[in-house]
Every structure is written in structure tokens, then in C-alpha cells.
Structure 1
Amino acid sequence: MSERPTVAVLGASGFVGTRLIEWLVLRDLAQVRPIVRSYRSLARVARFDLDWRLADARDPVALERAYRAAARAGVRRLVYVSSAVVHGLAPAPGTHDESPLLAKQPFAYNVSKVLAEERLRRLRADGAVEVVTLRPMIVFGPRSRWWSAQIAGDLLAGQACLLDGGEGICNTIYVDNLVHAMWQAAWAPGAANQDFLVADGERVTWRDLYAAVAEAIGVAVDAVPSVPSATLPKLLSAQRRAALRAAGRRFAWALGETLQATVVQTAREVLPSRLLDLLKPRWGALRALGAVSADTGAAGRPALVVDREMAALQSCRAVLPVDKARRLLGYAPPVPFAEGSRRTGAWLRFVFGLD
């Protein structure tokens, strides 16, 4: 490129968007225009002197407006970061870039990604703007809320668990590798109107991911409970029943509090003070209508809860291919999983005050 292009970054305040801006600015690759939802979203990128804009492109209607605006402005290409969950949380072995999208899924986020891709496919058919879609699965790295900080928090709280010991495939992509893929997708000649699975290109299991985080924060991964997949349906069913019972107890407690407050207030208004003195010791009995303590496990710690969505992710047995991305994008992930884990570990120790 003879001169720096102008690149607009929607979702500039998010985990990936922030890293993309840093990557572009520090390498002097482009004139970057961050697009954020609110003024407070500028905090992370405020250290750069950038020409920012306010807009919200989270819903499908806003996505279509963004496409139309790009067409009017003469934008050549739009790179959309979708997710590999368009093929399900545990894609079937043999899943590839052209596999059909899985529209019927039990999780709203997954369905929203399918709908967004379908809308963009219809829009790009007019040829006004080229659209390249990237589908990462597990994006981790410094500032990752879900796949770095959340795992660390669960490990430290004793709330982490691994399905079948973590032998399932975890299709990771380090954030810098995703940013590299986004930049390649913006310029590769053969990428126009194509869809790409992107990952680290290594066989990484869920145990590998948890072990890397555990080592960084000083937790023994061998102590993480293993949940056999054969027992999962019964366990999830028991959790649903327990959740309903807990909701009932919370309602009863709230009802008891309300009844107590109502009765006491009424008594104060209509009863003589001498009679009130006799009744006061009994007021606490109303509170017992809903008295309840949190469900706990051994040693008073919260009982282990298996997240249904996480269990589905950890059941994956397919390594998603990146051959098409390598061939058409020139994708060559610059950061191996081990190095990405090392960098993430350093950030986690800082965040959790463990250094």
C-alpha cells in the first residue's frame, strides 16, 4: 500500500476492537477511526489521538445501516467478525468453512450470529461492498473477560470443572492472531465475499487452556473436578430443580419480609403501646416464613454448578480447519498457543494481584 488507508473499527471499546486499534496504530498501518457506543467507551483508546465516532451497531438493523453507510461512503470492504458458533457450540467432525449454518440452536447468542451472517450475505449480493466474514471460536488473551479472567476467577473460587477431564477440543485463537486475520481479510484479493474459520491452528484441549491459566495463578489443574459426560443430563436436570427450589425459597423470604413489615406497621397504628411491648418478641417469627441460606457444598463452599453452555463447548471433538484462511488470506498465526498463554498469564497475575 502506497499510503495508509482509513480503517473504521466498530465495537472499538471491546476486547478485540481495542487490541485491533493498538495493533494498527502502534504499527502505523492505518488511519484508525474508532466507533463506540458511548463517551465512556472511549476510555481504553483515549491515549491515542484518533478521530472517533458515536454509533451502536449491535443489532441486525444497525448492521444493515452500517453496510448501507459504507456503500454510500465508497468503502471497498467490510470485515465482519462472527463466530464459529454458527456451526454449534460443538461443531461436528468434518465441519469446514462452507458447512451450512446451524439456525436452530438453544442459545440466543449463537442464533444472533447466524441471523447476522445471513443478513450480510443478502446485502453483499448487490456488490456495493465486499464482505469478508471471520469465524473464531475461543478468543483469549490479555483483557479477555470470558476465556481468561473468568476461567481464572472460577479456578480461584473452586468453581471450575472440566467435562471428561478436559479432553474435548478447544478451538482457541489468541487475540493477536485474530487481529492478524482481520488485517489480512481487509486486503487479500481472493477474500472478497468469502467466509473463513480462524483459529490458532493447533490441537488444543480444554485441559490445555485451563492448565495454562491455572499455572499462571498458582492453582493445581489436577484439583479441578472432572464431570463425566455420561452423568451430565442427570446433573443438569438436578440443577434446574435446585434452581427452582432456590427461587421458591427466595420468594418466601421476600414474602416473609413484606408480611412482617406490613403487620408491624399496622400494629403500631392500631394497638396500645403496652400490647405492642408484649408482641415484639414474636415479630421475628414472621421472618421464618422464608428464612433460607445459600446452597453450599463441602466445607461451606458454594456447590459446584455446571454451566450448560460451557458443557456443550467442552464436548467438542472437532479441530476446526484453517486451510482456507491460510490459502486465500495468507493467514499465518504469529503467536503460538504457548506464547499466547504466557502473555495472558502475566496479565492475569497483574489483574488478580498475584505478582
Structure 2
Amino acid sequence: MRVLLTGATGFVGRGLLERMSALVNLELIAAVRKPVSGFPENVTSHVIAGLEADTDWRKVLDGVEVVIHSAARVHVMHEQTSDPLAEFRKVNVDGTLSLARQAAAAGVRRFVFISSIKVNGEGTPVNVPYLADAQPAPADPYGISKIEAEKGLRALAAETGMEVVIIRPVLVYGPGVKANFLNMMRWLHKGVPLPFGAIHNRRSLVALDNLVDLIVTCIDHPAAANQTFLVSDGEDLSTTELLRRMGVALGKPARLLPVPSRLLEVGATILGKKALSQRLCGSLQVDISKTRELLNWTPPLSVDEALRKTAKHFLEQQSK
């Protein structure tokens, strides 16, 4: 089976590349924006200038049976453009649908689209998780661009017969994770006292290995065709629990101060960090029962196993 992977140098793409290059009877083509060295010998890379509406994918799609599309314009911390939604649409909607139309024309059987939980929304009440088939409610330009791409893909599937699988991950962590998760590990490793000892939210996370396992399952599982799936580790944690368990994984017990979450929220709002406060104090849970039942899938790694693997990589990098 010949599979095309976009976003092969991204965090999720690298995890997929590592896993899929070890699979027998699978020929992997990695689409990259510039030449990359160090890919496994059995991976063919093709340089694609960008994910745009006018990008020509025809040569790359020759003989491809499945496309895994993980490339996207992701969150921009300090957005400079006056119209962020237009910029997200250029890549995440126009570029995605152009690739999908060319894939269908080339005879691709299945298109696996890595979307985002932001399609569902920004947060849930405690113990009222998002469902895969619930009404979407995106609240930012990135989430809006992803739901528009999903709708376009579903319409294309109905028109052409190409199967579409949509996967909406929650926050992904694992070896090499960046951004806030990396900062959290740095704080814990340094023994910094943190004011997060009394947060009683619930958040779903997904380890990179678990997400990759589900994506690989969706390559050829008959029941995945034209379905939307949510994915997580299957165990939801409060921010306080996550910090404590990450501290254990790092061998650095978390030093947590029991500051009320409401006080943290007020302080963050005053400092212009409301979005960060929502991630630290708010809840966001997903129900993966559809994913489990329809695909007979279970996350292969537990939360603690995944945290240990993430911590091991972090500590190895710190020692270099």
C-alpha cells in the first residue's frame, strides 16, 4: 500500500513517520516543504512548495491509495495579520480541499484528515465531555478553518466516493513536545513553586503514541470510512494531577501551592493571559466511546507510561 503523509516534519508527522516506516507492505511518501535528511531509507520524500490552492500534487499522488493529511497552519502566538481567518483559510481550507480534490481525481481510496478538538469548542463543563457527532462550536479562526475543511471534505466524499476519515485530537504530548507542556516540565525540573495546587478541572490529553496508533488504525479499518473520531488517553486529569504525575515521571516532586483557581483566573485576566488561564483552570473533556466501539480501539499507552516516556526524552535533552 502506498501512503502519502503531509506535515511529515511536524510533531505528529514525525511520530507517524517513525511508526509507519517500520510497517511491512507499506510504501511511505513524505511531503516536505524543503529537502530533509535523516528519513528512514524506505521513506521517499517529495518537496512541495506549500499547501496552497494552486499547489500541484499530481506527481506525488501517483499510485497513492491513502493520504494522511497532518499539515496545517497552526496557532500563531503573536499574530501579525489583520485578518487571521483569511490566512488560516488559505492553507487549512483552500490548500486542504485542493489536495483532496486532486487525490480523488488520482484514485486515492481514503483521505485521513487530522483536524482539531477546537472544532468542537474551547471547553466543557466538568464531566460533560464533547461527543464526536455533536454540533461543532469553534470559537477561533483556527477552529473555524478546520470545520470548514471538514465540511468540504465530507461534500467531496459524497461527490466522488473517496472515503474521508476525520480525527480531532485534544492536546498532544510526548517526546519532543514544545510550548506550554515543555514549559511545565522545565518548571518542575527546576523545582519552581507553582500556584496550581487547588485546580479541580478535568482535561483530556492524548499521548503522541496513542494518536499515531489511532491514525494508523484508520488507514484501512473498514468501519472508519466517512466517520469522525475524537481521541484521548482515556483518562482525564486536573491540572494539579497532571503536574504531580509529571513530577513523579521527572523524579522531581511538584511543589504546588493551593491557590484558588478563581483567584488565578482573575490574575491572568488582569495580566492579559486569559487564554492561558482557560487552559490551566478550565475543563475540556472528550468522550472516545465511539472511537473505542466502532474501531475496537484502546489507547495502547497509559497516561503514566506516556508521561515517563516524555520525561525521559526531556531529561536526556537536558543532559546534553
Identify if the C-alpha distance between structure 1 residues 142 and 201 changes in structure 2 by more than 3 Å, giving closer, same or farther.
same
CA–CA distance in 1 between the matches of 2:190 and 2:305? 26
The 2-side partners of 1:120 and 1:185 are apart by: 16
**SS of the residue aligned with 2:43?**
coil
- What is the TM-score when the length of structure 2 is the normalising length? 0.78
Find the partner of 1:215 among 248, 253, 261.
Answer: 248
Q: How many residue pairs were aligned? A: 278
- 8 Å Cα contact 2:115/2:168 also seen in 1: yes
Question: Matches of 2:142 and 2:251 in 1, distance apart?
Answer: 33
What are the superposed Cα offsets for residues 58-80 of structure 1, whole Å, 9 maximum, x if unpaired?
A: 31211011101211221111111
User: Which is worse superposed, 143-152 or 157-166?
Assistant: 157-166
Gaps of 5+ in 2: 52-71, 73-90
1:282 matched to which residue of 2? none
Alignment-mate amino acid for residue 263 of structure 2: T
| Aligned-CA RMSD value | 2.5
Match of 1:10 among 6, 30, 33: 6
The 8 Å contact of residues 27 and 42 in structure 2, kept in 1 or not, is answered as: no
Partners of 2:218 and 2:232 lie apart in 1 by 14
- Contact 1:79/1:134 (8 A) holds in 2: yes
**Alpha-carbon distance in 1 for matches of 2:136, 2:22:** 36
SS at structure 1 position matched to 2:229? strand
Cα pair 2:202 2:238 within 8 Å, conserved: yes
Q: What percent identity do the matched residue pairs reach?
A: 27
Matched, 1:127 2:160: yes
Shift in alpha-carbon separation, 1:155–1:111, aligned structure 2, 3 A: farther
Q: TM-score, normalised by structure 1?
A: 0.71
CA contact (8 A) 1:168 1:315 kept: yes
**Higher normalized contact order (CA 8 Å, seq sep 6+, divided by chain length):** 1
Contact 1:33 1:50 in 2 (8 A): yes
* Residue 136 of structure 1: how far off its partner (Å): 1.3
- 1:34 alignment partner, SS class: strand
Match of 1:271? none
* Structure (1/2) with the larger helix percentage: 1
Q: Which residue of 2 aligns with 1:286?
A: none
The CA deviation at 1:109 is 2.9
- Aligned 8 A contact 2:116 2:170 in 1: yes
Q: CA deviation at 1:29?
A: 5.1
Q: Note the C-alpha offset of 1:227.
A: 4.8
1:28 partnered with 2:16 = no
1:236 partner amino acid: A
Q: State the alpha-carbon separation in 2 of the partners of residues 34 and 320 from structure 1.
A: 30
Matched residue, 2:75: none
Residue in 2 that maps onto 1:52 = 45
